[in-house]
Structure 1
Amino acid sequence: MRKISILRSIRKIYQFFVDIPIKDGTVLKDRYQVLSFIGAGSYGMVYLCRDLKTNENRVIKQLRPSKRRNKKEAAMFENEISVLGTLNQKNMPVLYEAFSSNGYFFYAMSFIEGDNLEDELFISKKTYSEKESLFILVHLLELVDDLHNKGIYHQDLRTANILLKNKEPFLIDFGLSKQRDSINQHNKLEDILKMKQQDYYDLGDLLLYLLYSTYSSKNKKALPWTEELSLKKETVNLLKKLLGIHEPYTNTIEISKGLYAAINAQEKES
């Protein structure tokens, strides 16, 4: 364990000195002018840029310089480019091009202007009623269904990867996504079902985050969500199946039925 800890420390120090964000004002590929550094993930660094050709904002993602010679990380970067190239949904990023410059690797995609759900929940402290939360899930389920129909499994559906624009969710960050065609033929059907259910589990987790936005703790001791949240039985059933507490859903049609049963229960009350 100590050896692993030392290796991690060395890696972080190396990244600190190597993964230096590109300076504002720098022009990449004689076209994309860096406006600001947005942030960094496990293998990528993200910038807001101005497309000097169209005068529109773009997002540029760079493979971390420290990862350039790491075959696994480079393959993940290439996979993300491949996934983005297959998307055709207004609520997801559009890939414009991939390019390299001075041995560094980049791709350009559309800039989606919206509020990050994680910031909305944990910084702005925005609240969502049970009904509002369910309707957000309706939109998210449509996006996940579209991905699954294309043989794409997001695998990282969390608050940080969702933007809200006019109360409508947009999916971003496909860095951990998997494509059906790239899955090893051995146990392929089993692997696909696991990836589907991972996305379904993540939807349940997202719904819980939204529902907890109105929760005010009165107990010093943390209790299970089934005891802390006052929810309609249809919403509880939906969550339990999404989270695998009860027999899990196997497809989005089943989820849709459970979701609309929960929404109908809300409509009857209002």
Structure 2
Amino acid sequence: MGSYGISYLVFDHKAKEKRVLKQMRPSRLNSPKGKTLYEYEINMLAALRHPRMPRLFDSFEENGQLYYVMNYIQGKTLEDLLFEENRKFGEREAWEIILELLALIKHLHERRIIHRDVRIPNVIWNDDGIYLLDFGLARYLDDSPSYLETTNDHYWPEKRLKREVHPRSDIYALGHFMLFMLYSTYEAKAGEAERIWEEELTLTPATVRILRRMLQLDTPYATTAELERDIQDFLEQQEKRF
């Protein structure tokens, strides 16, 4: 159950496979932007053509309620791996994962789609690789952040960066995604005061430099291609060292 929808795991008897049925929350349905956002998301999902992203099968209204049907992507989220399985990610492995996820983000940006919600519960791993889910906040470039409002000035500063309809907002989210993986190996000492990530984590200068740009602490990356080059250069240098 999320802010705007309720998801059910269902079985399609005709196709003989599991699928996901998502219902717009009844409390949201009668809000000023409820049905408009539902239709926007349906059109967005219908436009996706990627094997590592949700596939829309159907959308319909039943007893005054709005629903749509997607394929069921089975696997574990990064949230599961970190907090239930205590998975540890080294610096190099974390960048390799970001690079794989970046390929999906790049695919969207080339189609003028900004995801705006790249978070650890929205990325799934299974034997086939990484999948990117939840396009409820996705927007086309040049559309307003909330679709019915012209600005995101009502958001607090960090959320404003995450919700900007610009490629750098997805890159910013990827920076936080990276920090979640890097912190998997961090162990705080008892009684030690909390410090900024640059002081708490032992990272190579190249990683710090890339992350600072992703998090918009230094000149932000304008495109995913620019970030991709820097990560590939880092991994190549690491390969030479070993």
CA–CA separation in structure 2 for the residues paired with 1:80 and 1:226: 38
Q: TM-score, normalised on structure 2?
A: 0.88
Report the residue type matching 1:234 in the other structure: A
User: After the TM superposition, which residues 25-174 of structure 1 pair with which residues of structure 2 at under 5 Å, given as runs?
Assistant: 40-166=1-127, 168-174=129-135
- Provide the aligned C-alpha RMSD in A: 2.1
CA–CA separation in structure 1 for the residues paired with 2:81 and 2:67: 29
Number of the residue aligned with 1:31: none
Identity within the alignment, %: 37
Instruction: Specify every segment of 5 or more residues in structure 2 that has no aligned partner in the other structure, as ranges.
Output: 152-160
User: After the TM superposition, which residues 207-226 of structure 1 pair with which residues of structure 2 at under 5 Å, given as runs?
Assistant: 207-218=178-189, 220-226=192-198
Q: TM-score, normalised on structure 1?
A: 0.79
Q: Deviations over 1:138-163 (max 9, x none)?
A: 11110000001111100011001110
Number of the residue aligned with 2:228: 256
Number of equivalences:
227
Is contact 1:153–1:195 with CA below 8 Å preserved after alignment?
A: yes
Report the residue type matching 1:231 in the other structure: L
Structure with bigger gyration radius: 1
Is contact 1:162–1:170 with CA below 8 Å preserved after alignment?
A: yes
Q: Deviations over 1:153-198 (max 9, x none)?
A: 00011001110113822110111111136459x99xxx99852111
Instruction: Specify every segment of 5 or more residues in structure 1 that has no aligned partner in the other structure, as ranges.
Output: 1-39
CA–CA separation in structure 1 for the residues paired with 2:215 and 2:231: 14
Is structure 2 residue 205 aligned with structure 1 residue 205?
Answer: no
CA–CA separation in structure 1 for the residues paired with 2:76 and 2:108: 22
Secondary structure in structure 1 of the residue aligned to 2:88: coil
CA–CA separation in structure 2 for the residues paired with 1:213 and 1:167: 23
Report the residue type matching 1:232 in the other structure: T
